A and B are shown apart, each in its own frame.
Chain A
Amino acid sequence: MFYREAGQYNTTYEQDLQAFPIKQDKIGIAIWLVLAYLFVPFFGIPGLEYGFAMNAIMIPVLIFTITTIGLNILVGFTGQISLGTGAFMGVGAYACYKLTSYFPDTNIIILILASGFVSAIVGALFGLPSLRIKGFYLVVATLAAQFFLEWCFIRVGWLYNYNPSGAIEVPQREVLGWIVTGPSAEPMTRYLVVLSILVFLAVIAGNLTRGRIGRSWMMIRDMDIAAELIGVRPLTAKLSAFAVSSYFIGVSGALMVFMWLGAAEVESFDVNHSFLYLFMVILGGLGSITGSFMGAAFIWTFPIILKELGKSWFGINATVMENVSLVAIGVMIVVILIAEPHGMARLWQIVKQKLRIWPFPH
């Protein structure tokens, strides 16, 4: 009985509809936000060098969390599997790059958020086949998107302004006097921008998925024919899922290039990355926003931790540890699917339940 919610009564409908109805959950979220906004930007992660903690762990994890939330909307909430995530991130990144070269004076954060819409349109376009097909067949359709878009990123010179290196390079931009993008941007500024966009998008995703649209997605996932019979239009539900999911993925792609990598070529958007994001969704928990945070953080930090441990404790070189982590993640995917199909989010729920009823088993 570490905590209990006895005595917290909802007396109005508004209280009943809150995202976090229990007081302890509110406190928990507040602690996380305080840590993320007030502790990490100034102190990094205790025990790690500040630049490394920011550039190699915090910023990518936050960006990939946005990707994972986006993909989770499609795979976890709507039940449409996609292997084109990498390419849709690319669409967001290239769109943002084009927008910065057309509107050099506009606030970069607005451009990043706007580039998601380009990705949303492309995503909805490639989501069209989902109206007739599903399951593995849709995998082929999304793979078509992946490879076709990858080819576009190489061949269509207009996308990278005919840059001879074929890469997109991030220009320096300022917001309110702070340098936000480009090589001279401080890790702290970039971290705070990414964090704020993540919080903003996570709130939107949380509210979308527990609202009317989210419920229609889940109905389509659970049984599409039944959903259609009780008045959910598969066309709107599926295409909106594709569009919203691609919006998130596109924004995360733009953030990845502008806030983290600084320059990107087509390799950053290839099919192997698509698998990586799918793993984040599966391990974190299909159909869970909290799980998206856990999945992204785990899949990204696990190989880094393993590499460091292998080096400092056992003296094993980095390539071997990389392969070990590949195998370990594969095994974990299989084990999670067998033992707990709802992933780490479900494990967290079980832990909370145990804390609530301890020391009694029921």
Chain B
Amino acid sequence: MTDFLYSIFVGPFADMIALPDFLMQVLWEGFVAGVLYALIALGFVLIFKASGVFNFAQGIMVVFSGLTLVGLYELGVPAFMALIITLGVMYVLAFSVERFVLRKLVNQPDIILFMATIGLTNILIGLGQWIFGGETKTMITEQLWLPTGSSVWEPNGGLVIFQHIDIAATVIAVLMIVGLGFFFSYTKVGRALRAVADDHQASLSVGISLNQIWVIVWFAAGIVALVTGIMWGARSDVSFSLQIIALKALPVLVLGGFTSIPGAIVGGLIIGIGEKIFEIYWGPLFGSGVEGWFAYVIALIFLLFRPQGLFGDKIIERV
């Protein structure tokens, strides 16, 4: 019994102190995973704020955009041309979702809209496999001028490895979030988006077109998905299993709050770092693989005590 308690409450911490370099490596890995979770969650939040739709298809949009990019490149399109065409595809997707799905479902209960996005997920999975094939693809990292390789840092005896692509992913994510922040605060469209997020009817009455805003916001989510797809694809590979991993954005959202962009980022980092630390130090206790459910269980506990998340608006209705 004492052994068991020791292995829960003392052992892992002793390990952490004994090998600080390894701890740092774990933290870094968790941090990068967290950045990517945050990016997926960001796509969810954008759409949820602007249209109240919980877009279940965000995960598959990540896969679909990455797949389109690599697929086009394999067809012989130059890398940057492929990037631009993929952006075009994401715009067409945003436009058709608004025109053929959202517009027809205005005023339906949220749950119906949610199920419609699950249907959309199915369409995108089918289309992606149909056009580009279901096999795993390698992301075109070098052709997009993304760094490869790694640097080793030796602080005190041990070594910490930083993959260059991870650093690039972090930098790009930060740039994108800052960019989005500017876009929301200083441009006309961005302000219109915020107005719509605040109050649909009020923004309609001052002449903001909801339909246009929805296209824009789905397109923005598409861009976020593309960036996430490139980064995640560069770290592992572009495959449809990514879609299941992308579901982890849901616990991230529960933690951060469904309506808060900072919440998505902080939530992503907490989940990313938390699950890596838990997997490495406490995982052996349960048998490995705890990464799969750790995030969800944390979210479940959170839901019981603070359902609006860390930063969310207190909109949740108590039953």
A residues neighboring B (CB under 8 Å):
79, 81, 129, 131-137, 139-141, 143-144, 147-148, 150-151, 154-155, 224-225, 234, 271, 275, 278-279, 282, 319-320, 322-334, 337-338, 341
Contact = CB atoms under 8 A, between A and B. Distances in A.
Given A147-B293, A148-B296, A327-B130, A140 B250 contact: yes
Contacts of B299: 140-141, 144
Interface string B104-139: 110010111011101111111111011000100000
B319 A323 contact: no
18 contacts: A132-B307, A133-B319, A137-B307, A140-B250, A140-B299, A140-B303, A141-B299, A144-B299, A151-B289, A151-B290, A275-B121, A323-B127, A327-B126, A333-B118, A337-B108, A337-B112, A338-B101, A338-B105
Given A132-B303, A141-B303, A330-B121, A337 B115 contact: yes
B275 to A, nearest CB: 12
> Which of B104, B258, B296 has the most CB atoms of chain A within a 10 A radius of its CB?
B296
Contacts, number: 143
Contacts of A328: 126
B319 A234 contact: yes
B227 to A, nearest CB: 24
Interface in B83-121: 100-101, 104-105, 108, 110-112, 114-116, 118-121
A319 B300 CA distance: 38
A327 B122 contact: yes
- Chain B interface mostly: helix
B287 interface: yes
Which 3 residue pairs are nearest across A and B when measured between Cβ atoms? A326-B126, A333-B119, A330-B122
Nearest to B305: A132
B297 A144 contact: yes
Interface of B: 54, 100-101, 104-105, 108, 110-112, 114-116, 118-127, 129-130, 134, 244, 247, 250-251, 253-254, 258, 286-287, 289-290, 292-293, 296-297, 299-300, 303-304, 307, 316-319
Contact of B108 (A133, A320, A323, A341): A341
Contacts of B116: 333-334, 337-338
> Which of A140, A154, A275, A323 has the most CB atoms of chain B within a 10 A radius of its CB?
A140
A76 B247 CA distance: 24
B319 A224 contact: yes
B110 A135 contact: yes
A279 B119 CA distance: 8
B319 A129 contact: no
Contacts of A320: 130
Nearest to B288: A155
Contacts of B304: 129, 132
Nearest to A272: B244
A143 B296 contact: yes
Given A324-B130, A330-B120, A334-B101, 13 more contacts: A81-B115, A129-B304, A132-B303, A135-B54, A140-B299, A275-B121, A279-B122, A322-B129, A326-B126, A337-B108, A337-B116, A337-B119, A341-B112
